[in-house]
Amino acid sequence: MLYIAFDELTATLTAALEKAGFDPSRAARLADVFARNSLEGVYSHGVNRFPRFLGEVQKGIVRLDTQPETVASLGGMEVWDGHFGPGPLIAEQAMARAVALAGEHGVACVSVRCTNHWLRPGRYGLAAAEAGMAALLFTNTAGNMPAWGAVDARLGNNPIVLAIPRSKGHIVVDMAMSQFAYGKLEVAALSGSKLPIPGGFDESGALTDDPAAILASRRILPTGYWKGAAMSLALDCMGAALSLGRTVSVIRKDPLPERGLTQVFVAFNFRALVDAAQADRLLDEELEDLLGSTPAPGGAPVRYPGQNRESIIHENLTRGVPINEQTWEKVLAAL
């Protein structure tokens, strides 16, 4: 593992993106997304995905030559077409637009069709929280998870984010509708370890905690079994309805790999309606109560989503951001 200073990391990624054809402003914004996701400890959706992203640009899966377009609007609601542009840039812009619209309308929604993978969605929820708003956002994905009772992967793992601003640290949940990511299964299989709980089915159709058996069957488990499967479908359908976006089945049947996704960004300007300090106090008391839970013997430490973010950032700023050596070689080769 290499430890790269955050500024060096950002500058290097910016240079590689400019080389790939992005203008300096978009290159810098995109580099910040990759670098900061790693800085905040979400390595799977940070620099690790950079070489893949460059490949997608080269193959025309992610298009450089388009800008998102507003195709319809009414009050606090807008429908955008992303025209297959870079997902993180479109997501950042759509979330910012929802925040701006909510400033005027109290609540706002920007739904986006034909965008691309947004890397780590928690980033956009955090951006809304930094602007003092609560946010709810979700995406669909390629088909990567079977429906409940099925063997072939016709559902997406369709991540959802809920973000609530708080003076002492925002609360941000960022979760996919599968119990484990494929990346997690691969890491566990390589190290020969079992999953802590069942994560899918083996070839015989039995639930298993053996990551290799799940990778062989490609039958990953929806989070909460039938519940995550139902939620995945509903998020997909809601996004498609709100934007006339591509559903998971359309994305799956596209001869090109995962592209043209559907995303929805909702912002709630609640601090314009209620006292922010009072809301903060309510949240502080709730988290304090939760953290005061009686711990289960041998259980995981009780914490709230977002709790460790600041300490990870601090560590990675001090020591450098951990980057896989092979990944870094690929980044440098793109300069």
| Residue 171 binds to its own copies (criterion: CB under 8 A) | yes
Q: How far is the CB of 44 from its own copies (least distance, A)?
A: 16
For the chain, what is the largest distance between any 2 Cα atoms, rounded to a whole number of angstroms? 56
| Residue 201 binds to its own copies (criterion: CB under 8 A) | yes
Q: How far is the CB of 316 from its own copies (least distance, A)?
A: 23
Please identify which residue in 162, 185, 220, 334 interacts with its own copies, judged by CB under 8 A. 162
Segment contacting its own copies by CB under 8 A, of 5-13, 35-43, 49-57, 144-152: 144-152
| Residue 119 binds to its own copies (criterion: CB under 8 A) | no
How many whole angstroms separate alpha carbon 285 and alpha carbon 324?
A: 40
DSSP notation for 231-292: HHHHHHHHHHHHHTPPPHHHHHHSSSSS-SEEEEEEEE-GGGTS-HHHHHHHHHHHHHHHHT
Distance linking the first and last C-alpha atoms of the chain: 21
How many whole angstroms separate alpha carbon 325 and alpha carbon 61?
A: 26
Please identify which residue in 192, 295, 318, 325 interacts with its own copies, judged by CB under 8 A. 295
Residues 217-276 that bind its own copies (CB under 8 A): 219, 223-228, 230-231, 233-238, 240-245, 247-250, 266, 268-270, 272-275
Taking alpha carbons only, the member of 130, 140, 125 closest to residue 95 is 125
Segment contacting its own copies by CB under 8 A, of 5-13, 45-53, 56-64, 151-159: 151-159
Residues 3-22 that bind its own copies (CB under 8 A): none
CB 221 within 8 A of CB 179: yes
Q: How far is the CB of 106 from its own copies (least distance, A)?
A: 3
Please identify which residue in 72, 190, 317, 332 interacts with its own copies, judged by CB under 8 A. 72
Edge-to-edge strands, sheet with 134-139: 69-74, 77-81, 107-115, 261-268, 134-139, 160-164, 171-175
Residues 22-61 that bind its own copies (CB under 8 A): none
From residue 197, give the alpha-carbon distance in Å to each of 86, 116, 219: 35, 31, 15
Please identify which residue in 9, 27, 42, 134 interacts with its own copies, judged by CB under 8 A. 134
Q: Residue 321's beta-bridge partner residues?
A: 4
* Nearer of residues 53 and 138 to its own copies, judged by Cβ: 138
* The dihedral sign for the CA sequence 126, 158, 229, 206: negative
Residues 296-325 that bind its own copies (CB under 8 A): 296-305
Q: Which residues are identified as catalytic?
A: 45
Segment contacting its own copies by CB under 8 A, of 14-22, 44-52, 170-178, 208-216: 170-178
Segment contacting its own copies by CB under 8 A, of 14-22, 36-44, 89-97, 289-297: 289-297
Residues 86-105 that bind its own copies (CB under 8 A): 104-105
* Nearer of residues 167 and 193 to its own copies, judged by Cβ: 167
Please state the three-class secondary structure of 204-240 as a single string.
CCCEECCHHHHHHHCCECECCCHHHHHHHHHHHHHHH
